[in-house]
Each structure stands twice: as C-alpha cells, then as structure tokens.
Structure 1
Amino acid sequence: MQVQLPDEHTQVAFGEILGRLFQGRGRLYLHGELGAGKTTLTRGVLRAYGYKGAVKSPTYTLVEPYELDGRRVYHLDLYRLGDPEELEFIGGRDVLADDALCVVEWPSRGAGWLPPADVDLTLDAAGAGRRARLASATSRGEALLEELAAVCGSREDAAGLEGDV
C-alpha cells in the first residue's frame, strides 16, 4: 500500500490515524533516510493518544517511553546502535514484550534481534512531501492495513486522511 503525504500536516494526520488503528499495542517499524520524517510521523502516532508536547527522536537514549491515557507507547531510535545485542542492555526485550505500542526508527540496526513488525513503513521524499509505503509482516499487520485501506480508500492521495477511524 502507498499513501502520498503532500505536507507535514498530512504526515502528522496520517500518523494519528495509524496510532488509532494500532489501539495502543503492536510494532510499527519506520524506515527512511535521515530527514525523511520518521519522527514527524511518530508525533502523529503519539497525538492519537493525547500527547501534545514536542517529540524528538531518542537518538542518544535509544528509547523514550510515554504513558498516555492508560497506554504505553515506546519510541525507539536505533540509528546509533552499534550492535543489535545492545538492545538487551537497554531493556529491549521487556519493551518489545510489553502490551504496548513500539514505534521503531532504523529497525535495520536491530536486525536479527527485533521481532517482526506488524507494519513496516518506509518514507521517501516525493516533491515537497513524502510517500509512505506500507507492508505487513504479521496477520495483525495485514488486518491493520486492510483497515487503513478502508480509511484512505483506494486512492493514492492522502487529502482525506483527517477523518476518524
């Protein structure tokens, strides 16, 4: 599935839709070059649970936990990870086993250690905006993408993404 995200506002709105669809649990892995908008999308995911503050990528801490509306959301950024085994030392096994939503930037740095994502999302530059390419790796992910397709319709344009899920 592909979705066009013409501007930052739409990208955040799309993240919010994803956040609602995940219902506070599962694994969303974000791929893309530096500056592709992975953290911007994560801001939208967090807004789905009522978070209004600034969102910065946890590049140095590796994980930023959020307790929101009775749900836990973990934002991980593995860009600076030297070895996937380092995830063991920061409590990665507990974070990923928790009944929470884990949003992981740079999951390729945790290859071989991370469990499969429910949804793999790749952001690419597309003019002034972004193109999101989504794929599922689990049956839950497949169901999430079916729900997302129903929300977005079959069109590539994301202009109507601000509707409720």
Structure 2
Amino acid sequence: MPEESDYSVFVADEAAMVMLGQQIARATSGGEVIFLNGDLGMGKTTLSRGVLQGFGHQGSVKSPTYTLVEPYELGDLTVYHFDLYRLGDPEELEYLGIRDYFTEQSLCLIEWPERGEGVLPLADLLLTITVEQRGRRINLQAQTEKGRQLADKLKG
C-alpha cells in the first residue's frame, strides 16, 4: 500500500516537465537528495533543468554524463546534478569524494542512481518517469521524513 505522501503526476510536454522542476525547487529547503529514475529520453535532464531554473539558473543544463557531476552555485545553495550512466563501479564515487556533496546547503539530483547503489545515501524523494500517452507519468515516492515534507508541499 503506498504511503500517504506518495503520488504521481502527469506532464504533457517538455514545458510541463520544466514547470514541475521549478515547483520542486520552490518546495526544497536544502539538504535533499532526489533520485531520478527512467529510461533514456524520459526527461530526467529536462526536469533537472527546471529545478535549476527554479533557483534562478539562466544558462544551459546538460547531463554530466562524462564528468559525472556538475555543480551549480545558486545563492546559499549548491545544486549538484549527477549523471551516473557511465559509472563503471559504485566505488568510483568514493574517489569523487561523494560524501562531501551531501550537506544541508546542497540539493543533489541524481540520474541513474542504481549505478551508485551501496555508496549513495537513501534518497529523500524517488522520482520514476515513464511514458504515458504522449507525455510522461512521474511517480514520487518519499523515503525519508524530509522527502515526505517535500512531497506534501508538491501535492499542496
């Protein structure tokens, strides 16, 4: 049975995905870890772009497929956008100093989190993106109290 704070939302197009990302940005308070699950082309990077725009980022947002992480200093908060698609072994994250990224002054958006299993912390919010008709269905699952608070703000 799903938790009370678990729910899903339909996004019809790219603009709606960006808007959802902006809503996520407004609902965060810092220190959140958000996992973005979905096949290639589902809109994980588009959603991340919306989050970054929600914090005032004006530039382009590309998936950090080769660098693994791209930091965005946005006022008092740093958003770290991870793409672990090309990660060979979760242990490689230890060489990145992965634990240093997870602070109360950061928001970590992690694409392909299953590639870092065993090294990554528990996500506060797990987003799973799937195709539905011509749009996308995003299932939001809170996994911590902070994630429940975030999901509740998004629902409200």
Matches within 5 A, 1:48-87: 48-87=54-93
Matched, 1:91 2:112: no
1:121 paired with 2:127, answer: yes
Structure 1: give runs of 5+ residues left out of the alignment: 151-165
The 2-side partners of 1:4 and 1:14 are apart by 10
| Partner in structure 1 of residue 43 of structure 2 | 37
Q: Normalized against structure 1, the TM-score is what?
A: 0.88
User: Displacement, 1:25?
Assistant: 2.9
Q: Deviations over 1:39-72 (max 9, x none)?
A: 0000000011100111100000000000012211
Quote the Cα distance in structure 1 between the aligned partners of 2:135 and 2:141: 20
CA distance in 2, matches of 1:124, 1:90: 30
**Separation in 2, partners of 1:22, 1:70:** 13
Return the alpha-carbon distance in structure 2 between the equivalents of residues 49 and 97 of structure 1. Answer: 17
Q: Which amino acid aligns with 2:100?
A: D
CA contact (8 A) 2:37 2:113 kept: yes
* Aligned-partner Cα distance in 2 for 1:8–1:25: 27
Per the TM alignment, residue 3 of structure 1 is displaced from its structure 2 partner at its CA by 0.1
Give the partner amino acid of 1:77.
D
- Choose which of 123, 146, 149 in structure 1 pairs with 2:152: 146
Q: Which runs of 5+ in 2 are unaligned?
A: 1-6
Corresponding residue for 1:131?
137
Mapped contact 1:76–1:103 kept (Cα < 8 A): yes
Contact preservation (8 Å) 2:76, 2:105: no
Query: 1:77 Cα shift?
Result: 0.5
Equivalent pairs, count: 150
| Distance in 1 separating the partners of 2:155 and 2:103 | 28
Identity in percent: 51
Distance of 2:70 and 2:104 partners within structure 1: 14
